[in-house]
Copies of this chain bind each other. A is one copy, B any other.
Amino acid sequence: MQRTQFGTMACSIARTLDVIGEPWSPLILRNVYVGMTRFEQIQQDLGISRKVLAERLKGLVGNGILERREYSERPPRHEYVLTAKGTELCDLLLVMVRWGDRWTAGEAGPPVLYRHHACGEISHVEPHCSVCGAPMHATDLDLLPGPGQAA
């Protein structure tokens, strides 16, 4: 948890950060996304403190990103799975991957490749305009006040 709460700001970036902005949260999400759904697995893979992992998982469940599901009743065992809200958040991870691959991967190249089901090719994510379908980057936009703007 940040010292300053971002959730109350009239800014969708701040509110998104309120959900996954805490240290480790994006990496936890990533691990669940790739199928590493159990406490012990995640803890060992990331090398995160057990305390912090427990806090983050509780937070992500509370925010509706993950769901705590019992996969064995006896003995009681739980795993964490993505909700619809959480799955959509994974698109954000893909954009982070794209930027990281481009600017930080260096000589060695990207550590993971992504194959698109639809076309079967190794590709990466590219932002497009939801209206006209053309590529859309941060420099191609005008910002206008919206209905939810603070008074």
Contact = CB atoms under 8 A, between A and B. Distances in A.
A108 B148 contact: yes
A143 B128 contact: no
Contact of A102 (B2, B3, B88, B116): B88
Q: For the complex, would chain A's binding face be called helix, strand, loop or mixed by DSSP majority?
A: mixed
A143 B112 contact: yes
B34 A11 contact: no
* Most central of A21, A110, A129 by chain B CB within 10 Å: A129
Interface in A19-35: 19, 21, 23, 26-27, 30, 33-34
A14 B34 contact: no
Contacts of A130: 123-126
Interface of A: 2-4, 6-7, 10-19, 21, 23, 26-27, 30, 33-34, 47-48, 85, 87-106, 108-119, 121-150
